[in-house]
Amino acid sequence: MDQVKSKGIVRDPSLAPEGKLKIEWAQAHMPVLARIRERFAKERPFAGLRVAMALHVEAKTACLVRTLMAGGAEVAIAGCNPLSTQDDVAAALLEEGAAVFAKRGVDAREYEALLVRTLETKPDLIIDDGGDLVTILHTSRRDLLDTVRGGAEETTTGIHRLRAMEREGALRFPMVNVNGAQCKHLFDNRYGTGQSVWDGINRATNLVVAGKTVVVGGYGWCGRGVAMRAKGLGAKVIVTEVDPVRAIEAHMDGFTVMPMKEAAAAGDYFVTVSGNRDILRGEHFARMKDGAILANAGHFDVEINVRELAAMAVSRKRVRRDVEAFTMPDGRTLYLLAEGRLVNLAAGDGHPAEIMDMSFALQALALRFVGERHAELGGRVVDLPRELDEQVARIKLEAMGIAIDDLSDEQQEYLDSWSAG
């Protein structure tokens, strides 16, 4: 039974001890965030401020919540995907004093209601994952806009939405583009997504990947990671793209490139990771082989057209926890993972802790930056300052025991000169 407390709504508060174990394990593997948390505890940059977050409510996210609370913030958090919340972690955060409005497995109506409850705490700052909080603030709940100074966004999908708002002059406050930081997209999007997607797929299916054909829909940083890990697992990899430069890159990386209509007949696994809709649709389902497995790694559940898949099928049934079988009129069966939602978080634990250590360190620093500079930044999308990106990288290197060179005075002078040859 769902439990409502004065500071939140969670599935079951009694799950808190198990959630705390998960959080402690993640925290032990996130040294960069630990360093920032120590600094925030001394400097209290968020004292007297409220922070609203829409993120995947799981153990690594909880470490970010702890960091902001150590800095003096009152934190309210909702999930950013109906299937990614871990109810034990939500219960643990509620017990630790955060206002938590998150449950796994909610429908679309309740999902939005929980987001709204988070915004009704009247935040000064927000952290978004996919742009849902910003969208609600600028549409159905404009009455809650006035207190918001700014925020940070960590996904490609969210930045696309924010850029569209900025172009139309609709964005009312500054949002920091954390996704554009090098310590985010080079590691989180590539290595984090690459590993966690296959972790989710393998947990859901328990089938071998080696020797099979994997079709990756999209070759951005996330697609690169998914393709790289598929190759490492022994798969033959096909990449589909609409961007000619990325298509050449995929080819040069050793992958076969072709349109999805051709790839549909060849794939054993399909992974969509484009940030766009209908990457897999009816014309593709009609060509797929019996037993094909469909997974999405994009933020929203629009990349696989599940409505068309269901309309084409003569039967639909759940065959494993995160696997649905769709039987076609000709007897073929196609398997959809995690309802077409983020497979790495719906069927797995998301990115490794060491990866999210950097991403959430960037989020914490970005929130402090926008909180202190919001008045001069205005209603626009702002790149994270490079010095904050490098600060996170240097702390990470130190934590790993890796030293690098420094430029000598002569080298710096050479780089700064236009006349030296």
Residues 218 and 315 in one domain: yes
275 lies in the same domain as 308: yes
C-beta separation of 232 from 388 below 8 A: no
Which residues, other chains included, contact 390 with Cβ-Cβ below 8 Å and sequence gap of 6+?
none
Instruction: Count CA within 13 A, CB hemisphere, residue 405.
Output: 5
One domain, residues 138 and 80: yes
Q: At what angle do helices 16-27 and 87-95 cross, to 10 degrees?
A: 90
In eight-state DSSP terms, residue 208 is -
The domain boundary residue, chosen from 310, 326, 346: 346
Cβ-proximal residues to 218 (8 Å cutoff; 6+ apart), any chain: 240, 241, 272, 273, 274, 275, 276, 279, 298
**Residue 4: per-residue pLDDT:** 42
Residue 412 lies in a domain: no
197 domain residue, yes or no? yes
Could you tell me which residues are beta bridge partners of residue 383?
Answer: 177
- Domain with residue 379: its CATH number is 3.40.50.1480
Say how many domains are in the chain: 2
Domain encompassing residue 134: 3-184+352-400
In a domain, 419, yes or no: no
CB within 8 Å of 116: residues ≥ 6 apart:
136, 140, 141
CA angle 306, 312, 315 (to 5 degrees): 90
Asked whether 203 and 225 are in contact (CB, 8 A), the reply is no
**417 within a domain of the structure (yes/no):** no
Residues 90 and 390 sit within 8 Å (Cβ to Cβ): no
* Average pLDDT along the chain, 421 residues, taken 10 residues at a time: 64 98 98 98 98 98 98 98 96 98 96 97 97 97 97 94 97 97 95 98 98 98 98 98 98 98 98 97 98 96 98 98 98 98 95 97 98 97 97 97 97 92 70
Could you write out the DSSP letters of every residue in 103-164? -TT--HHHHHHHHHHHHTT--SEEEESSSHHHHHHHTTTGGG-TT--EEEE--HHHHHHHHH
**Where does residue 412 rank: exposed (0-12), middle (13-18), buried (19+ CB within 10 A)?**
exposed
Do 240 and 289 sit in the same domain of this protein? yes
CATH of the domain at 202: 3.40.50.720
Within a domain: residue 237?
Answer: yes
Check residue 1 and give its pLDDT: 37
Query: Tokens 């990325």 identify what position?
Result: 246
Q: Looking at residue 13, what is its pLDDT?
A: 97
27 and 59 housed in the same domain: yes
Residue 409 forms part of a structural domain? no
Asked if 135 contacts 115 with a C-beta cutoff of 8 angstroms, the reply is: no
The pLDDT value recorded for residue 7 is: 82
Please state the pTM of the whole predicted model: 0.93
- Within this chain, do residues 101 and 244 fall inside the same structural domain, yes or no? no
What does DSSP assign to residue 190?
I
In this predicted structure, what is the pLDDT of residue 419? 87
Residues 270, 385, single domain; the answer is: no
- Regarding whether 287 and 307 lie in a shared domain, the answer is yes
Does 211 lie in the same domain as 148? no
For 126, counting Cβ atoms within 10 Å of its Cβ (0-12 exposed, 13-18 middle, 19+ buried), the class is buried
What DSSP line would sit under 51-84, residue for residue?
Answer: EEEE---SHHHHHHHHHHHHTT-EEEEE-SSTTT
Pair 136, 179 in one domain: yes
Asked whether residue 410 is assigned to any structural domain, the reply reads no
Q: Are residues 338 and 197 in the same domain?
A: yes
281 and 371, same structural domain? no
Q: How far is CA 373 from the centre of its chain?
A: 26
Region for residue 184 given its phi and psi (left: phi exceeds 0; alpha: psi -120 to 50; beta: otherwise): alpha
In a domain, 79, yes or no: yes
The values of phi and psi at residue 354, to 5°, are -65, -30
